[in-house]
């Protein structure tokens, strides 16, 4: 095996290690969010490093089951959640 091949393998292993490490440490907040839209309710859980991003992700996920079409999805995502419960992981 040549030097270039060895260097490439070491570089790729290092990059994979960094990606795995970063993906495991970034999600330190988990939120349960419930949304009611057009008389139906959906609750979803999301995890992230930032509270706002976590809540937005959970609302988007809940609205995916409650709304059909882009207009309804936007209206649903602009609806304030019924409940938000966050905890540190």
pLDDT in tens, 24-70: 666 678 999 999 999 999 999 999 888 999 999 999 999 999 999 99
Looking at residue 35, its pLDDT comes to 97
What is the value of pTM for the model shown? 0.70
Tell me the pairing of strands 29-37 and 83-88. Answer: antiparallel
Looking at residue 27, its pLDDT comes to 63
Q: Which of 52, 36, 34, 55 is nearest to 44 (CA)?
A: 34
Phi/psi zone of residue 34: left (φ > 0), alpha (ψ -120 to 50 degrees), beta?
beta
Q: Tokens at residue 87, please?
A: 């905890």
Mean pLDDT for the stretch of residues 68-73 = 93
Contact 65, 77 (CB under 8 A): no
Model pLDDT for residues 2-27, shown as the tens digit of each residue = 888 888 888 888 899 888 877 766 66
């Amino acid at each position: 095996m040549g030097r270039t091949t060895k260097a490439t393998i070491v570089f790729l292993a290092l990059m994979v290690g960094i990606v795995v490490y970063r993906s495991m440490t970034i999600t330190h907040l988990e939120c349960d969010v419930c949304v009611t839209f057009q008389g139906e309710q959906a609750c979803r859980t999301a995890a992230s490093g930032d509270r706002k991003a976590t809540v937005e992700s959970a609302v988007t996920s809940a609205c995916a089951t409650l709304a059909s079409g882009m207009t309804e999805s936007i209206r649903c995502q602009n609806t304030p959640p019924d409940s938000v419960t966050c905890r540190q992981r």
